[in-house]
Amino acid sequence: MRYPLALATILSTAALITAGTAAGFPPRVHYVGHDKVAAAFVKGGHIIEDEGLIVIANRGVQRGSEMHDNTNHVFIIENGESEFVTGGKMIDPKVIGPGQTRGTGIEGGVSHHLVKGDVITIPAKTPHQWKDTSKTGSIVYYAVNFEGN
């Protein structure tokens, strides 16, 4: 069961590296042991931060929408289940920081039912929202974020 997820992770990461190499992808190898990753999943936390590459181990619940002007995401679902909405128009958008907008929801987006083993990419400037995590309480995922222009 771990092999399909590992393959999805490798393919997603390879795509990011290919796209990111020209944009200055970090030239260093990073290894993060399973103890640090497991601890990060408890509260959500960054496990890698280097030259525009951020990898987060997170546990998400239903919340409002968000959009990032320069952050491209690859979400790799480790556990749980959620309706995840992308695109559309943010409801009641508010800029909370440079390049960061939050809202109360999304109108007219596309709903994706995400479960363990799924991978989804979200380009910069695309509204997105964890919509419904009621079946399992939360969704556990890696967020591989690559900062672009």
Cβ within 8 Å of residue 143, ≥6 positions away: 54, 55, 56, 58, 73, 74, 75
The DSSP secondary-structure symbol of 117 reads T
- Distance CA(59)–CA(70), nearest Å, equals 23
Average pLDDT score over the chain: 86
pTM: 0.81
- Give 10-residue mean pLDDT values along the chain (149 residues): 53 52 72 92 90 90 92 95 96 96 97 96 97 87 88
Contact indicator for 141, 133 with CB cutoff of 8 Å: no
Looking at residue 136, its pLDDT comes to 85
Question: Which structural domains are found in the chain, ordered by start?
Answer: 2-147 (2.60.120.10)
Give which of 51, 87, 53, 58 is closest to 75, Cα–Cα: 58
Question: What pLDDT does residue 147 have?
Answer: 87
Pairing mode, strands 89-91 and 119-122: unpaired
Q: What is the pLDDT of residue 75?
A: 96
Which residues touch 5 (CB under 8 Å, ≥6 apart)? Answer: 76, 78, 116, 117
d(CA 82, CA 146): 23
